[in-house]
Structure 1
Amino acid sequence: MNTALRLVRAAGAALARLRGARALHPDGLVLDATLEVLPETGRPWGVAFLDRAGRYDVTVRWSRAAGLPSPLPDALGLALRVTDGAGPGRPFDLLLTSSGTGRVTRHLPLPRTDAAGGAYATLTSYRFPDRDRVIAAIPAGDGGRGLPVSLPDLARALTERPPVAFRLCAAAPHEPWRPFGLLTVTGASPGGDGPLTAAGASPAGTGPGAEGSGAGPGAEGSGAGPLAFDPYGACLPDLAPGPRLRRWREAAYAGSRRARGAAAPPGAGRRGGSEGHVEA
């Protein structure tokens, strides 16, 4: 590991020790969603999942990346787990961060004061058969605007408003954004227990579980085992993320786990394993 990666790992450990929780995305809102894949006629992507119409159940985790207290703006995470997306019994994970849509800003995390006020992008490019492209979730219309970024307030807002929809798109630097699907966030958590934070307590304080119970994706300590997003291990067979951010993410999250005494994910450290496991 080079000096820069050691510094990133040390920073992840220091932040985890300071807050007594994960260094990044310490709390999140777990929600149900659906994804409708809507291929464009006559314009195949060369990726089986994107070129075949379908409807999938999705687990979403909305989170504040740095864990800054509201009302301070923070980069927001939108982690997606598409059930059976990579085949029967095999999920497809995407990690998206609030960003811009320009050639440069699609690669940069941007703080946000409105959870549906702009795009979320993978930041790193994905390897399509013909070229590399960034994947993004772009709000569909203005119906979702004005969503609070405080997780408890966001949970309440999602129960009082129509579902929030995002167009899932992809684009290379010199291409316009091309949609391939529609993500609709319904606001109900997996298991029917209401929206949950990563700590396992509902924003209103009435949900099941206690601190550290691991009710959300990426949380730890649940009797059923942790559910963590892995965009590298849980990717589509013909659509994989590029290596641009992989080593930096690995270093930051390894430092965070080490500071908390948390176990590494299964397969960590093995070629083709879950080195890219992240605590989104």
Structure 2
Amino acid sequence: MNGAGMNAVLRLVRAAGAALARVRGARAFHPAGLVLDATLEVLPEAGRPWGVAFLDRAGRYGVTVRWSRAAGLPSPLPDALGLALRVTDGAGPGRPFDLLLTSSGTGRVTRHLPVLRTDAVGGAYATLTSYRFWDRDRVIAAVPVGGGGRGRGLPVSLPDLARALAERPPVVFRLCAAAPHEPWRPFGLLTVTGASQAGTGPLTVAGASPAGSVPLAFDPYGACLPDLAPGPRLRRWREAAYAGSRRARGAAAPPGAGRRGGSEGHVEA
């Protein structure tokens, strides 16, 4: 597609995002979310470096998680699920590292496609787009740990999910990365520990933050690691859709706009 054609398509995507936001009176995508605390343990493998400083150094980090329904479809309808992660100080002191993951498959093709789900831990979550490691491009994924009653059976209705998380052991995901011809290789464990005071408050399902506060927004392009950046696939489409959504609501770009490759249309999952 030539430049003029691409620009026309992006204008349509931006207009669609704006129209959906006006109808909803909220974000066009991921209109409500469940904000939770988590911890990330980075567990390097001896003799198998990633070539990424963050992944090659053992560490423990605080994480803010936002679990959401991508299209905001009413329960009990299935929906693509979002798992947004903000790793505190992940890119250095005072600099978060953001990852956006969506319910997906794990195959060579399905890891790039959103999957509708009726179980919040019924399968993997992936970045859909590849990240640029030093030697090749890889998709990053979060795979639920454990089977049976411990690893399955979480509802996708956000109020029901909040109640279920409060009544059961922490949910654990194995974080992995892989190129198309590689097996999935783990680099850490994410443990979702419970309610968070970030964003809209503990175990709160809401489309907007309280008056006077800044909505919790994630930017994987601006808040990425210096040696681990997302590739261009999906970027222009995402930015156009979210820019339209913000304009329709009169919302500002997320905090940190313009850092390390950010642009006018930031993602706000």
TM exceeding 0.5 = yes
Task: Tell whether the 8 Å contact from 1:232 to 1:276 is kept in structure 2 after alignment.
Answer: no
Any conservation in 2 of the 1:33–1:60 contact (CA below 8 Å)?
yes
RMSD: 2.6
In structure 2, the CA distance between the partners of 1:267 and 1:14, relative to structure 1 (3 Å rule), is same
Deviation at residue 273 of structure 1 after TM alignment: 3.2
Taking the aligned partners of 1:270 and 1:91, their CA distance within structure 2 comes to 11
Partners of 1:82 and 1:275 in 2: how far apart?
23
> Matched residues in 2 for 1:261 and 1:65: separation?
21
Change (3 A) 1:103 1:33: same
Query: Distance between the aligned counterparts of 1:271 and 1:43, measured in 2?
Result: 28
Q: Which runs of 5+ in 1 are unaligned?
A: 205-222
- Per-residue CA deviation, residues 15-62 of structure 1 (Å, 9 max, x unaligned), is 111111110000000000000000011100000000000000000000
Change (3 A) 1:43 1:270: closer
User: Which stretch shows the higher mean deviation, 269-278 or 84-93?
Assistant: 269-278
Partner Cα distance (1:191, 1:258) in 2: 24
Q: Deviations over 1:116-150 (max 9, x none)?
A: 00000000000000000000000111167100000
Say if 1:270 and 1:181 are closer, same or farther in 2 by CA, change over 3 A.
closer
Give % identity: 92
Shift of 1:190: 2.5
Residues 1:276 and 1:97: Cα distance change in structure 2 (over 3 Å): farther
Classify 1:45/1:246 alpha carbon distance in 2 versus 1 (closer, same or farther; 3 Å): same
Aligned pairs (5 A) from 1:198-237: 199=206, 223-237=212-226
- Secondary structure in 2 matching 1:191: coil
* C-alpha contact (below 8 Å) 2:200/2:215 kept by paired residues: no
Paired residues of 1:21 and 1:260 also in contact (CA < 8 A)? yes
Tell me the alpha carbon deviations over residues 86-143 of structure 1, each in whole angstroms, 9 at most, x when there is no partner: 1111100000000000000000011000000000000000000000000000011116
Distance 1:11 1:59, change over 3 A: same
Partner secondary structure for residue 38 of structure 2: strand
2:90 counterpart SS class: coil
Local SS of the residue matching 2:195: coil
Q: Secondary structure at the match of 2:71?
A: coil
Is the CA contact 1:171–1:177 (under 8 Å) kept in the aligned structure 2? Answer: yes
Per-residue deviation at 1:234?
Answer: 0.5
**Alpha-carbon distance in 1 for matches of 2:78, 2:133:** 33
| Deviations 1:148-201 (CA, angstroms, capped at 9, x unpaired) | 000000000001100000000000000000000000001221369963445379
> Which stretch of the first structure deviates more once superposed, 74-83 or 270-279?
270-279
Q: Is structure 2 residue 132 aligned with structure 1 residue 127?
A: yes
Give TM-score, length-normalised by structure 2: 0.91
- Counterpart CA distance in 2 for 1:82 and 1:270 is 16
Deviation for aligned residue 1:272: 2.8
How far is the alpha carbon of 1:11 from its aligned partner? 0.9
- Runs of 4 or more, structure 1, over 6 Å off, are 200-204
Cα gap change, 1:271/1:85 in structure 2, threshold over 3 Å: closer, same or farther? Answer: closer
Does the 8 A contact of 1:84 with 1:91 survive in 2? Answer: yes
Q: Kindly tell me: are residues 73 and 200 of structure 1, through their superposed partners in 2, closer, same or farther at Cα, counting changes over 3 Å? A: closer
Q: Name the CA shift for 1:151/1:47 in 2 (closer, same or farther; >3 Å).
A: same
Which range moved further: 188-197 or 8-17? 188-197
Rate the CA distance shift 1:243–1:192 in 2: closer, same or farther, 3 A. closer
Distance change in 2, residues 1:149/1:78 (3 Å)? same
